[in-house]
Amino acid sequence: MAKCSLCGREKSLSQSCLKHFIRIDGVFYEALPYKPRNKTLYEIHNNVKKRCPHCGVIEGGYHHVGCIFEVCPKCLRFWLSCNCFGIKTLKSNEEPKVVFLENFRNK
């Protein structure tokens, strides 16, 4: 089982990572929550929340570090394959926990 290096939770069991920001060129962008592309009529009528197929968060939750389906809040392409290099961070008054996403690219 793999734990997220940002929130410390088990990826496949948690409903969401912590709300976080992505700092690109000194600007903090709020991370975009998971939104599935397609839902069946059953899922729509019964309010079924889908899970991200890679990191397991539920619809409306924040992706875990390294998820291939996280969308870049700047260019709206997949974060791990776009050219908006930056860092994922918890923006707070305490010491922020920072995870460099370049470690996850092209793996």
Structure confidence by residue, pLDDT tens digits, 58-98: 999 999 988 899 999 999 999 888 888 888 888 754 444 55
CA 38 to chain CA centroid, Å, is 18
Taking the domains of the chain in order of start, what are their residue ranges? 1-107
Structure tokens at 98: 């920072």
Structure confidence by residue, pLDDT tens digits, 35-58: 888 777 777 778 778 889 889 899
Q: What is the mean pLDDT of residues 10-25?
A: 87
Cβ contact 66:59 at 8 Å: no
pLDDT score of 4: 87
Identify which of 78, 66, 83 has the alpha carbon closest to the alpha carbon of residue 32: 78
The full length of the chain comes to 107
